[in-house]
Amino acid sequence: SHTAFDTDSVNIKPAFHSTMDKLADVVVRYGKTTLTIVGHTDNVGTNQYNQKLSERRAVSVAQYFESRHVSPLRLATLGKGEGEPVASNNTESGRSANRRVEIYVEPIVGG
């Protein structure tokens, strides 16, 4: 499955751990980078609830990276709720694709 999260969950599916571990290793190795972690949801539930859920998903991923020795000072989190779907919320596969985080690796400028 390509879905990082079950409906209404902030727990990262184990299938994603190896990919996240590889990214954490790269980030630790290249110290002049930061990660911005953006959480998203499907449209099941209220806008307000999904906003909070997306924020909690981003924090969950940040905590995972912290557990893999990435400094919390290099992590930023943001929730976008259900507002930026990548697929239709009219099907289970579409909703599944929308339950995600996006991770942006950025250089530390002037550092």
Q: What is the largest CA-CA distance in the chain?
A: 45
CA angle 1, 11, 45 (to 5 degrees): 85
> What residues contact residue 19 under an 8 Å CB cut-off, 6+ apart?
none
Q: Is the pLDDT of residue 2 over 70?
A: no
Distance, in Å, from the CA atom of 27 to the CA atom of 82, rounded to the nearest integer, reads 28
Give the span between the Cα atoms of 6 and 12, in whole angstroms: 8
Name the CATH topology of 18-84+99-107: 60s Ribosomal Protein L30; Chain: A; (3.30.1330)
Taking the C-alpha atoms of residue 79 and residue 102, their distance in angstroms, rounded to an integer, is: 10
Mean pLDDT value across the chain: 94
Mean pLDDT of 42-53: 97
pTM of this structure: 0.92
